[in-house]
Structure 1
Amino acid sequence: MTENESTTGTRRAVVTGASSGMGASSVRKLRAAGWEVVAVARRADKLESLAAETGAQAIVADVTKDGDVERLIADVTAGGPVHAVLNIAGGAIGSDPVETGSIDDWQAMYDVNVLGVLRVTQGLLPALRESGQGDVLILSSTAGRVSYEGGGGYVAAKHGATVIAETLRLELAGEPIRVIEIAPGMVATDEFSLNRFGGDTAKAAKVYEGVEKPLTADDIADAIVWTLTRPHHVNIDLMVMRPIAQAAQHKVARGVGL
C-alpha cells in the first residue's frame, strides 16, 4: 500500500488513449495498484476487452470532439471523485518535411496531442481540485524537447503538450494539484509507428531496426504509476525516458547487444 492509498483511501483515475499501448498498460498497472480507473478511448471493442480483463470502467469517447468530452466529463464526475487524469491519447502521422507536410495531418496531430489534452484537463480540473489531492499527468515525448527532420508536425504538437504542462504547473502553484510530465523517447508499441506510416509494416519496423531493447509500454506505465504514488507533496515535474541504446534524438546505437 502506498502512502497515498493509506492516507486517502482508494484513488480514481481517468486514462485517455486506453485502448492500446501505454494507455492500456497504465490501466492495468493502476488497477493492480488498487486504483479505480475510467478507461477512455474511441474503440469500443478494445475498451470492452480491457474492462473485462481489469475491472476498469470503460467510456467510449474521442478527445478531439467537444461533444464527446462534455459527455465524458459528465459521466466521470457523476461516478465519484477524480484524483488523477492521465492524458495519454496522442500519436504521430507521417514523416514528411515541413515543405511538403500535409496540413490535414498537422491539424490531426495538433487536435489529439494538444487540444485533446486541453479539453480533458479543463473539464476535469474542478473535480481534481475538489478531491484535495489531484494529479494532471501529460504524456509528451522527447520530440517535445528536440526537433528532428521529418518530424515537424509531431514535434510541434508535442511541444504544445509540454507547454501545457509547464504553464499549468505555474498557474496552479499553491493549489493541491500536481502537474506531471512524462517524456518518452523510443518506445516500441504495437501501433504507434504502424499508425504513423499508414499501416506500412516495413517502415514501422525500420524505426526499431537493430535496437535490441527499445522501451516498452510497460516501462512507461511503471514510471507513470510511480510518479502518481509518491507522497502528494512530491511533484515529479518532468521525467525523460529513453532506452539505453538511445543517447539522444539523433543518437541511437543499432546492432549492439545491451
Structure 2
Amino acid sequence: MNILITGVTSGFGRAIAELLIAKGHTVIGTGRRQAKLDELAGEFGERFIPLCFDVGDKIATKTALQSLPNELLANLDVLINNAGFALGLESADKADFNDWEQMINTNVFSLAHLTHEILPFFTTKNSGYVINIGSTAGKHPYFGANVYGATKAFVRQFSLNLRADLVGKKVRVTNLEPGLCGGTEFSNVRFHGDDDKAKAVYENVEYIQPTDIANMVAWLIEQPEHININELEVMPTAQTFAGLKVVKDL
C-alpha cells in the first residue's frame, strides 16, 4: 500500500512509519524538520518518501502534494492524519491564546485541509482509508484540556461526518483515540520544553507506547475492505475516564 503519514519525525508518526515500512508498505512521511526527515530516509530506505512542509500552511501543503508523482497520488491507499499537539495545561481563564490558536491551526485546520485535498483521489478510485489520530480528550474532559480537547472533539465528529458523507463509497474512516501515552514529545511540547513537568506525567504509570498505537494502525489497515472501524478508543489499564470531581463549599 501507499500510505501518507503526517508528523512522521517523532512519536506516533515515526513508530507507525517504521512498522508499516517493515510490513512492506511505501510511506510518504511529512514533517517540518528536513534534517529529521533525512535521518529517517537513511534509516528506512527506498520505501520512505520524505516530504518537508508545514501542514498548517495551506499553500505549502498544496505545493508539497503537487511535487509528488501523479501516479503515486492517484494510487494512494491510506491517509494517516497524525500531526497535532497540545500546548499548556492552564485553566481557560489563564491560558495563552497564542497556544489556543496554534492548536486550532494544526489539529483542526491542517487536518481538514489535507483530508480535503486527498479525498478526491480516494473517491475517484472508489477506495481509500482515512485514519485520524484523535484523543480520549475529545470525548472525556479534564482540567486544562480546554481547547486541546475541543480540537480533538472536532476530529472525532469530523471523522463520523466523513463516514456519513462517504456512505456508498469504499472509503473507510477511523478515529483512533489514544489516552495516556509516553515515549513521545507530546508532554515536552505541552509544557514548552519543561522536561521535569513532562517526566512527572508518566512517573509510576505503565502508559501506552507509540509502538502500541502503531500496532493498532497496522491492524486497522489489515482489516478487509468491507469492515469500517468507526472509533477505536484506547487507554492504559492504569487510566480511566470515570470519576466526577465535586468541590464542596464553593
TM (norm. structure 1) is: 0.90
Asked if 1:194 corresponds to 2:184, the answer is no
1:73 is aligned, of 65, 74, 78, to: 65
Q: Which one is further off, 67-76 or 48-57?
A: 67-76
Size of the aligned set, in residue pairs, is 240
* C-alpha separation in 1, matches of 2:196 and 2:30: 30
State the Cα RMSD in Å. 1.4
Is the 1:185–1:249 contact (alpha carbons within 8 Å) kept by the matching residues of 2? Answer: no
* C-alpha separation in 2, matches of 1:12 and 1:129: 16
Unpaired segments ≥5 residues, structure 1: 1-10, 252-258
How much does 1:250 deviate?
6.1
Moved over 3 A (4+): none
* C-alpha separation in 2, matches of 1:52 and 1:120: 26
Unpaired segments ≥5 residues, structure 2: 245-250
Q: Which string of whole-angstrom CA distances, capped at 9 and with x for unpartnered residues, describes residues 160-183 of structure 1?
A: 111110111111111110001100
Is the 1:19–1:47 contact (alpha carbons within 8 Å) kept by the matching residues of 2? Answer: yes
Residue 98 of structure 1 aligns to a residue in which SS? coil
2:9 is aligned, of 19, 24, 31, to: 19
Residue 19 of structure 1 aligns to a residue in which SS? coil
Asked if 1:142 corresponds to 2:132, the answer is no
Residue 54 of structure 2 aligns to a residue in which SS? coil
2:25 is aligned, of 23, 35, 38, to: 35
1:204 is aligned, of 182, 198, 201, to: 198
How much does 1:206 deviate?
1.2
2:239 is aligned, of 240, 246, 253, to: 246
* C-alpha separation in 1, matches of 2:243 and 2:70: 46
- Corresponding residue of 2:230: 237
Is the 1:77–1:127 contact (alpha carbons within 8 Å) kept by the matching residues of 2? Answer: no
Q: CA 1:250–1:216 in structure 2 vs 1: closer, same or farther (change >3 Å)? A: farther
Structure 1 residues 56-135: aligned runs within 5 Å: 56-76=48-68, 78-80=70-72, 81-135=75-129
Residue 39 of structure 2 aligns to a residue in which SS? helix
* C-alpha separation in 1, matches of 2:127 and 2:26: 15
Q: Which string of whole-angstrom CA distances, capped at 9 and with x for unpartnered residues, describes residues 111-130 of structure 1?
A: 11111111110001111223
Is the 1:63–1:69 contact (alpha carbons within 8 Å) kept by the matching residues of 2? Answer: yes
How much does 1:249 deviate?
6.8
Asked if 1:214 corresponds to 2:207, the answer is yes
Is the 2:184–2:210 contact (alpha carbons within 8 Å) kept by the matching residues of 1? Answer: no
Q: CA 1:209–1:169 in structure 2 vs 1: closer, same or farther (change >3 Å)? A: same
Q: CA 1:184–1:249 in structure 2 vs 1: closer, same or farther (change >3 Å)? A: farther
